[in-house]
Amino acid sequence: MLTDAHCHPFDLREQMPNAEEARRARNAACAASSWNLRQFEFHEGLAQNAKADNAPPLVLCYAVHPQLPASVLNLDEYYSTLEELAASGRLEAVGEAGFDLFDETYKTTEKIQDEIFAVHLEAAMKHHLPMVVHGRKAMHKIFPFSKELKKLPSVIFHSWPGTLVEGESLLHRGVNVFFSFGAAIVNNHHEAQRCCASLPLDRLLVETDAPYQPLRGKDFSSWEDLPAIIQKAAKLRNDAGSPGKSADELEEIIEKNFRRAFQFHD
């Protein structure tokens, strides 16, 4: 089974109206990220239908995207919804949560990003949920929370934004961390390629971030990109002499990693 550790099915509908049919045809499980209740309920419906049809599952994730704190008009209401979803068992992972300091516009919201991340982390710890982390140009914001992250069942870094040393440091600190890679390794982002080639095999995941991280020459990303991402990851590991040198082997191991990361069982 193919797996997609981070995607946005709600947002993919416009570019790919048959996205759910394509996902099932690809036999691809995915972790669906929502940042409002409308999106979450859409993904929840897909997950319920998939379960009824014995189709590949969707893992339900929910958090305010670090780029979008201003989109939340009432933080108290949002926090109440997050708590309700987590307490009811409907929520399977908190995310994508974290920080984005890529440019000056995002930096102006750093204070509210700090507040929202603290709430997300508290909810994940309280309800023993995995956390999906977004940390673009912000790994220095993550490390001070290592002790708290260590308490979580798992931490999944979407589109791993760090260096090889930073990844190894999180592991040495005892964080049950998984590193997800997508278009960046195919589009020749050298640090992402180095990390994908060298980080432990049992910590690797792949993702599309559909529809937001297209492979070069494409207009949007989707589950159709997963084989190319896995093939590139296998080549990188083969060239580096690391375990996980064939695409078939890597796909199987990444599925096992996905199940561990998201506490998913048949």
Cβ-contact 184, 229 below 8 angstroms: no
- Name the residue with tokens 């319920």: 48
If you average pLDDT over every residue of the chain, what do you get?
A: 96
Question: How is residue 193 written in tokens?
Answer: 């390629």
Does residue 266 lie in a domain region? no
The pLDDT of residue 266 is 61
As to burial, measured by CB atoms within 10 angstroms (0-12 exposed, 13-18 middle, 19+ buried), residue 23 is buried
Task: Tell me the HSE value of 163 on the side-chain side, using a 13 A CA sphere.
Answer: 5
Does residue 56 lie in a domain region? yes
Give first-to-last CA distance, the chain, whole Å. Answer: 12
Helices (H) and strands (E) in the chain, counts: 13, 8
Does residue 116 lie in a domain region? yes
Q: Does residue 190 have a known ligand-binding role?
A: no
Question: How is residue 32 written in tokens?
Answer: 């669906």
Q: Does residue 128 have a known ligand-binding role?
A: no
Does residue 19 lie in a domain region? yes
The pLDDT of residue 42 is 99
Structure letter (DSSP) for residue 215: P
Q: Does residue 158 have a known ligand-binding role?
A: yes
- Which of 63-67, 192-196, 261-265 has the weakest average pLDDT? 261-265
Q: What average pLDDT score do residues 81-86 get? A: 97
In the chain, pLDDT over 70 holds for what percent of residues?
A: 98
Q: Does residue 265 have a known ligand-binding role?
A: no
Give the total number of structural domains in the chain.
1
Q: Does residue 134 have a known ligand-binding role?
A: yes
The pLDDT of residue 69 is 75
Q: What average pLDDT score do residues 223-252 get? A: 95
Does residue 98 lie in a domain region? yes
Does residue 225 lie in a domain region? yes
Q: Which domain holds residue 46?
A: 2-261
Q: CA geometry: angle at 33 spanning 205 and 39, to 5°?
A: 160
- Name the residue with tokens 């220095």: 140
Q: Does residue 209 have a known ligand-binding role?
A: yes
SS3 60: strand
Confidence of residue 7 (pLDDT cuts 50, 70, 90): very high
Element (H, E) at 32: strand 28-34
Instruction: State yes or no: pLDDT of 235 exceeds 90.
Output: yes
Question: In this predicted model, what pLDDT tens digit does every residue of 156-202 receive, in sequence order?
Answer: 999 999 999 999 999 999 999 999 999 999 999 999 999 999 999 99
CATH of the domain at 149: 3.20.20.140
Q: Within 10 Å of residue 228's Cβ, how many Cβ atoms?
A: 14
Does residue 107 lie in a domain region? yes
Cβ-contact 22, 223 below 8 angstroms: yes
Q: What average pLDDT score do residues 78-92 get? A: 96
- pTM, two decimal places: 0.96
Instruction: State yes or no: pLDDT of 138 exceeds 80.
Output: yes
Does residue 245 lie in a domain region? yes
ω into 96 cis (within 30 of 0) = yes
- Name the residue with tokens 């997950």: 47
